[in-house]
């Protein structure tokens, strides 16, 4: 099957709202070997929504539309789709009952406009929304599915996982298996060179390189008519790919670096404190994003000024004067100071030039020093990150977490793909 996704909303078309719904749907459909080959974005104009749908039905085997299912005047997707398909809107008593029951359970009196979400194009199947009032809708038009989903990301994702992906998986008739290896410390080009022609040994498989601030994810999807050979190829691909790039793998699936670090700290019964300058608390935020992080996260210091580095972490003024705040000695003292002041087993220190100003010939923008202090001593590394201020900060925080992970696992701090 080939699918078109239509995103609806003036806020998306203007660029004020990032279209995360498309990204989520495209990735999810790809994992069940249903390629998205067209993507259209239209505003909240009925004629244009109808035009986009009619065009999609001439070239795609299925259409997924997101947005415009709410109760406000600009939510016109149901009406526009009904008009484009020649179907009148009619009240669905079951949807109306669910809307009223949800209002009763929440103890709120919903405005009458909310009940308009129970008006569905004739023949539509309603998928109950576990997080909101607007149901997902499935309409079959000329044997092609037209699926309507809310624009609220959490609601769209919940409906996609529960209904849309299983629907397309069954309709595609293919057996599909996939896995993702998450890497840090290697560029996409390095991974490609190391992996080489290995994927050619995996019939029916596709390897995708997915770079981000946090490293490069390697996602393998295997599809075929027979589940047994698909599973065999997936297992073989996993074994061979992992062996080829093992030094830079930090997790599998959707696990994040901060989750891995948290689990390692819990396993040892250790706690961590972090001292940050250029990242402004980003590393601490990521560690505390994890539920239960109070078991291992003690405290964080954001020591942006030289004075705060001296007062809170015990950094020596002579080293600040002699080496500068952005230097290896200062990063190491920040990590040691965080560890000692907090009375914990692990300390991390980050100091650098995030830009876009403040760089020099000796320390250009993107220069970052990261240190980790543990019971066996401290280590510091120098990095040159490229990109925007945000990219540099994100990459610095990810690299610092990776250094902590490697320290806890007893791995080399400088991974190499050679050999």
Taking residue 292's Cβ as centre, other Cβ atoms within 10 Å add up to 9
pLDDT the model gives residue 10: 95
Token pair listed for 31: 């994992």
Q: Could you report the average pLDDT of every consecutive run of 10 residues in the chain (419 residues)? A: 95 93 94 92 96 98 96 91 96 92 80 86 96 95 97 96 94 90 96 96 94 94 94 98 98 97 98 98 98 98 98 98 98 98 98 96 97 98 96 98 98 86
pLDDT the model gives residue 103: 81
pLDDT the model gives residue 358: 95
First to last CA, the chain: 41
Q: For the purposes of burial, counting CB atoms within 10 Å of the CB of 101, is it exposed (0-12), middle (13-18) or buried (19 or more)?
A: exposed
Q: What is the pTM of this model?
A: 0.84
pLDDT the model gives residue 296: 98
pLDDT the model gives residue 109: 74
**CA–CA dist 180, 257 (Å, integer):** 14
Domain 257-409: top CATH class: alpha beta
**CA–CA dist 205, 223 (Å, integer):** 7
Fold of 3-172: Molybdenum Cofactor Biosythetic Enzyme; Chain A (3.40.980)
Taking residue 312's Cβ as centre, other Cβ atoms within 10 Å add up to 16
pLDDT the model gives residue 1: 85
For tokens 């298996």, name the residue: 177
pLDDT the model gives residue 5: 98
Q: Which residues of the chain are in CATH 3.40.980.10 domains?
A: 3-172
pLDDT the model gives residue 419: 55
Domain 175-252: top CATH class: alpha beta
- Give the residue ranges of DSSP H helices in 6-122: 10-13, 20-30, 46-59, 77-85, 93-106
Q: Which residues of the chain are in CATH 3.90.950.20 domains?
A: 257-409
């Amino acid at each position: 099957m080939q699918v078109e996704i239509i995103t609806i909303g003036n806020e998306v078309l203007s660029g004020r709202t990032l279209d995360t719904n498309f990204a989520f749907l495209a990735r999810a459909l790809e994992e069940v070997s249903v390629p998205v080959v067209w993507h259209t974005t239209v505003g909240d104009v009925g004629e244009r929504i109808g035009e986009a749908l009619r065009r999609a039905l001439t070239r795609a085997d299925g259409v997924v539309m997101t947005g415009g299912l709410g109760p406000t005047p600009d939510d016109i997707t149901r009406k526009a789709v009904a008009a484009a398909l020649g179907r009148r809107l009619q009240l669905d008593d079951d949807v109306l009952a669910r809307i009223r029951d949800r209002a009763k359970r929440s103890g709120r009196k919903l405005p009458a406009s909310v009940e308009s979400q129970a008006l569905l194009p004739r023949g539509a199947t309603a998928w109950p929304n576990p997080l909101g009032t607007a149901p997902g809708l499935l309409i079959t038009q000329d044997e092609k599915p037209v699926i309507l989903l809310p624009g609220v990301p959490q609601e769209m994702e919940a409906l996609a996982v529960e209904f849309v992906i299983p629907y397309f998986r069954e309709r595609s008739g293919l057996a599909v298996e996939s896995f993702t290896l998450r890497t840090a410390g290697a560029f996409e080009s390095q991974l490609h060179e190391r992996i080489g022609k290995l994927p050619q040994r995996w019939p029916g498989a596709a390897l995708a390189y997915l770079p981000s601030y946090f490293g490069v994810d390697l996602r393998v999807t295997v599809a075929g008519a027979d589940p047994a050979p698909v599973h065999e190829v997936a297992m073989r691909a996993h074994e061979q790919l992992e062996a080829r790039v093992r030094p830079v793998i930090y997790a599998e699936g959707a696990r994040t670096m901060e989750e891995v670090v948290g689990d390692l700290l819990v396993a040892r019964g250790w706690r961590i404190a972090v001292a940050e300058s250029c990242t402004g608390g980003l590393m601490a935020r990521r560690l505390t994003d994890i539920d239960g992080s109070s078991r291992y996260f003690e405290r964080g210091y954001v020591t942006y000024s030289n004075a705060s580095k001296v007062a809170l972490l015990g950094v020596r003024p002579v080293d600040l004067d002699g080496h500068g705040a952005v230097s290896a000695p200062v990063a190491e003292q920040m990590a040691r100071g965080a560890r000692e002041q907090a009375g914990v087993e692990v300390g991390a220190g980050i100091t650098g030039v995030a830009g876009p100003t403040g760089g020099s010939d000796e320390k250009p923008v993107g220069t970052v020093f990261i240190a980790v202090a543990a019971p066996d001593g401290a280590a510091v590394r120098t990095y040159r990150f490229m990109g925007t201020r945000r990219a540099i900060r994100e990459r610095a925080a990810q690299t610092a977490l990776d250094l902590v992970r490697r320290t806890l696992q007893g791995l080399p701090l400088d991974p190499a793909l050679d050999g």
